[in-house]
């Protein structure tokens, strides 16, 4: 389901029937070759349109959890399913095709330094073998969505850290994947930029994408109203469920999500949500 096509749905929680399961971890354990267990018997179920923060100090296996979801690592035991697909069983081209349905954002952005913002984003679609016309059709709206359409021809080195991270978000969502994974997306950013990135991610969640964000910054996660789980000693423990929203937050977010995406919107959003977060 393209996330652009359903701008009115705020989250699964407001829908009358329960949306399909997007992410399912069943008794997943991961032990690396140094024999130190990284994940122990982890269970997790996310439905389409859910948003989840996974917090925990560095080295607790947050990245591993995400890697299991996009098939960069295999679970030692247990089963990892994304949109009904057993990710651990995928190899080669089937894994490649599966990854087109998952957007990934990294702490270090992983932008290509000698390509412009537009080229960095379009590169994804080219690498997937899409047509030029389709690339043109998707590029500008995506850049608008992260508020960077005016910097399309800039090189990554000419952008601030926050802007670079927004480029990497644009790259992750340009093929409209139903699942968006952000591995410490705010790790290199100051508070101002970090909250803006989180708002962008929440905004995308408002369009229907399932989003998982990892961070070591407990405070930042707790500032938002989204569910938070903590990864501690290889186990996922819920810190805050979806029911404990601050009053008025949902309303606030839905108001944001309903406005058409544009650069002014993202600035308006920042003012809006800054209030909420502040």
Q: Which stretch binds another protein (CB under 8 A): 9-17, 26-34, 104-112, 242-250?
A: 104-112
- Is the dihedral angle over the CA atoms 10, 14, 15, 18 positive or is it negative? positive
Question: What HEC string does 105-142 produce?
Answer: ECCCCCCCCCCCHHHHHHHHHHHCCCCHHHHHHHHHHH
- Give the separation between CA 70 and CA 56, rounded to whole angstroms: 20
98 interacts with another protein by CB under 8 A: yes
Q: Which stretch binds another protein (CB under 8 A): 20-28, 47-55, 109-117, 246-254?
A: 109-117
Q: How far is the CB of 245 from another protein (least distance, A)?
A: 33
Among 38, 44, 45, 37, smallest CA distance to 18 is for 45
Residue ranges in 149-178 that form contacts with another protein under rule CB under 8 A = 171, 175
127 interacts with another protein by CB under 8 A: yes
Largest CA distance in the chain: 50
Q: How far is the CB of 160 from another protein (least distance, A)?
A: 20
Residue ranges in 222-261 that form contacts with another protein under rule CB under 8 A = none
3-state DSSP assignment of residue 231: strand
Q: How far is the CB of 135 from another protein (least distance, A)?
A: 9
Q: How far is the CB of 150 from another protein (least distance, A)?
A: 24
Binder to another protein among 9, 48, 62, 99 (CB under 8 A)?
A: 99
Residue ranges in 53-92 that form contacts with another protein under rule CB under 8 A = 70, 72, 92
How many C-beta atoms surround the C-beta of residue 20 within 10 A?
A: 13
123 interacts with another protein by CB under 8 A: yes
- Give the separation between CA 89 and CA 67, rounded to whole angstroms: 14
- Give the separation between CA 88 and CA 76, rounded to whole angstroms: 10
124 interacts with another protein by CB under 8 A: yes
- Give the separation between CA 203 and CA 145, rounded to whole angstroms: 9
- Which parts of this chain interact with another protein (CB under 8 A)? 70, 72, 92-93, 96-101, 104, 110, 112-113, 123-124, 126-129, 131-132, 171, 175
């Amino acid at each position: 389901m393209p996330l652009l096509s359903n701008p009115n749905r705020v989250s699964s929680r407001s829908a009358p029937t329960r949306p399909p399961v997007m992410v399912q971890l069943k008794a997943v354990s991961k032990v690396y070759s140094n024999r130190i267990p990284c994940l122990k018997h982890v269970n997790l179920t996310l439905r389409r349109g859910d948003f989840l923060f996974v917090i925990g100090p560095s080295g607790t296996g947050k990245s591993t959890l995400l890697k299991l979801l996009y098939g960069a690592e295999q679970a030692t035991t247990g089963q990892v399913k994304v949109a009904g697909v057993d990710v651990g069983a995928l190899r080669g081209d089937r894994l490649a095709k599966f990854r087109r349905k998952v957007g990934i954002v990294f702490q270090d952005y992983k932008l290509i330094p000698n390509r412009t913002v537009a080229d960095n984003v379009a590169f994804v679609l080219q690498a997937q073998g899409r047509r030029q016309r389709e690339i043109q059709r998707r590029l500008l709206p995506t850049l608008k969505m992260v508020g960077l359409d005016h910097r399309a021809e800039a090189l990554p080195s000419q952008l601030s850290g926050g802007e670079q991270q927004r480029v990497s978000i644009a790259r992750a969502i340009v093929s409209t994947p139903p699942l968006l994974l952000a591995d410490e997306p705010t790790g290199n950013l100051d508070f101002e930029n970090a909250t803006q990135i989180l708002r962008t991610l929440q905004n995308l969640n408002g369009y229907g994408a399932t989003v998982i964000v990892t961070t070591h910054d407990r405070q930042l996660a707790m500032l938002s109203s989204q569910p938070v789980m903590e990864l501690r000693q290889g186990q996922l423990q819920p810190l805050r469920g979806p029911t404990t929203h601050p009053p008025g937050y949902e309303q606030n977010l839905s108001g944001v999500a309903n406005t058409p995406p544009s650069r002014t919107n993202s600035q308006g959003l920042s003012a809006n949500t800054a209030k909420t977060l502040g």
